[in-house]
Amino acid sequence: MDFLLSLLEFAFGRQEQVLEALAQHAGYVVSVLVTAGVFAIVTGIVTRRNQLARELALSIASVFLTIPSLALFVIFIPLVGLGFAPSFIALFLYSLLPILRNTITGLDGIDPGVLESAKGMGLSPLQVLLRVELPLAWPVILAGIRVSSMLIVGIAAIATLVAGGGLGDFIKSGLARLPLPNSLEAIWLGTILCLLLALVIDLILQAARLATISKGIR
Amino acid sequence: MSTVSPNLSSRTPLSERLDLIVSPIFAVILGLIGTAVWLYSDIDSITEDILAPEKLQRQLGETLVLGFSSSILVILVAIPLGIVVTRKGFPRLKNFLVDTLGLAQALPAYGLIVIFFSFMGAGITTVIFALATFSLLPVLRNTIVGLEQVDKSVIDAGRGMGYTSRQILMKIELPLSVEVIIAGIRTAIVINVGMSALAFLVGGGGLGETINSGLKLDRGPAILIGAVMVAILALVFDFLSALAQKYLKPKGL
C-alpha cells in the first residue's frame, strides 16, 4: 500500500515527463498501426489471388516476428542512426503479420455467392472490393490490428535502448539508479503505464469496431 | 513470437513448407551481411576487442543456457496449468485467463526483467524466471485453446469405449492438441532465445553484451554483427521448432 502511494506521488510529481513519455509511446503505436495497417492490408489485397505470393508474404512477415526485438531495433542503426527511425522501422516490421494474416483470412472467408451476386449486380472488380469485400472482412482485419497494437505497446518499451524515448525511459532510468529512492517507482511506473496504455488503445479499438463495422453484419 | 493467436485453418502444406524454407534463407542473408560488414568495414582495435571470439563463445553459451532453462521451466509450469484449468470445474478461471492473456501481451519484457532484478538481484536465475514468466502466456494460451478445440464427440466416443478421464486426456485430448501446444512452445522458445539478448541489463550475460558494447562505444559494425548473431540464433531455434512441430504431430492427422 505504501508503495502504491509513493508510486502515485512519483507519477504526479513529474506529470510533464510522464505525459511526454506517454505521448511518445502512443505516437509509436499510432504511427506504426496506420502505416503498417495500410501496407499489410494492401499487400493482403494484392496477393490474395495468388497462393504462392500470399503464403510467401505471410512467411516473410512471420520471420520478422521471429527476430528478437533488441536485434531488430539496433540492426538499422548503422543505416538510419539512433532515435525514432530505427524504433519505428522495427515496430513496423513487427506489426505486419497479425494484420496481414487477418486481412487474408477475412477476405478468404467471404461467401463466394455474395461476390457472385455483387458481380451480377454490375459492380466492377474495384467496386466489389471496396463495397463488398473490405466491409465484410473488416471485423477480422480490425481484430488483427488489435493484436498488433498489444504487441507494439510492449515492444516499444525497448525503444529507449536506442534513444527512441517512450515509457521505457522510466524503466531504464530506474534500473540505472537502483537501489536509490524512486528507482523502483520509476520501473513499475514504466511497466504499468504500458499496460494501461494497452488497455486504453484496446477500448478505443473496440469503439472503432462498433463505429466502423457495417450495419448489415453487426 | 511467431504465433500470437493460433490459426489452424491457414496451415496449408505450402505454408508448412515455406515455414521451413524462408527462415533459413533469412538466416543466410543475415549471415552474409554480417560477414560482409566484418570483412569490408572499418574494424578498429576496439571493435575487435568487442567481437573477441572467446567473449562471443561465452555469450553464446550463456544465451543457450538462458533459452533452454527458461523454456523447460515454462513447459513444466504452463502445460499442467493449462490442463488443470480446462478440466471441468474451472470455467471462470479459464475464461479469465484467456481474456487477460490477450492484454498481457502488452507487458514489456524489458520492464519484467528489470522488476525481477529488483527483487532477486543480478544473475542468470533472475533472467530465467523473468523469461519464463514472460513466455508462459503463449504456451498456456495454446494449451487451453488446443484442448478446447478437440471435438467433443471424440471425447464422448472415448467415454463410451470405457476410457477413464485420465485415459481420455492422455490418449485423446493431448494427442489431438499436440500440434497447437507445440506451436505455443515454439513461440516461447523463440521469445526466450530472443529476450535473453536483454539479459545483459541485469548482469545475466548473453549476446546482448556485444550489442550493448557496440552502442556504448559507438561502433556500428559491432552493433550490426551482434544483432545479426542474435537474429540468426533465433531463426535457427525457430527452424528447429518448426521441424519438431512437423514430425511430432500424430500420424493420423
pLDDT per position as a tens digit, A167-216: 999 999 999 988 888 889 999 999 999 999 999 999 999 999 888 887 77
Q: Is residue A218 part of a domain?
A: no
Q: Is residue A136 part of a domain?
A: yes
Q: Return mean pLDDT, chain A.
A: 92
**Closest approach of B171 to chain A, Cα-based (Å):** 32
**May I ask the CATH class of domain B13-243?**
mainly alpha
A208 inside domain: yes
Nearest CB neighbour to A202, from listed B103, B109, B110: B103
d(CA B92, CA B80): 18
Q: Which of A97, A99, A88, A98 is nearest to A158 (CA)?
A: A88
- Burial of residue B123 (number of CB atoms within 10 Å: 0-12, 13-18, 19+): middle
Q: How many residues does chain A have?
A: 218
**Does A113 fall in a domain?**
yes
Separation between Cα atoms, residue A132 and residue A115, nearest integer Å: 8
Low-confidence spans in chain B with pLDDT less than 50:
1-9
Interchain CB distance below 8 Å, A66 and B238:
yes
Contact: A72, B234; criterion CB under 8 Å = no
Look at residue A209 and tell me if it is in a domain: yes
What pLDDT does residue B252 have? 67
Alpha-carbon gap, residue A68 to A50, rounded angstroms: 30
Query: For chain A, what is the domain count?
Result: 1
Give the distance from CA A168 to its chain's centroid. 17
Please report whether residue A57 resides in a domain.
yes
- pLDDT tens, A64-121? 999 999 999 999 998 899 999 999 999 999 999 999 999 999 999 899 999 999 999 9
Query: Whole domain around residue A33: which residue ranges?
Result: 2-213
Mark yes or no for CB contact B18/A188 under 8 Å: no
Distance CA B162, CA B153 (A): 14
**Does A167 sit within 8 Å of B19, measured CB to CB?**
no
- Rounded to whole angstroms, how far apart are CA atoms B95 and A181? 39
Q: Does residue A115 sit within a domain?
A: yes
Using CA atoms, how far apart are residues B221 and B35, in angstroms rounded to an integer?
10
Find out whether B5 and B180 touch, Cβ atoms under 8 Å: no
Give this prediction's pTM: 0.89
The domain spanning residue A94 has which CATH number?
Answer: 1.10.3720.10
A59, A78, A175: residue with CB nearest B224: A78
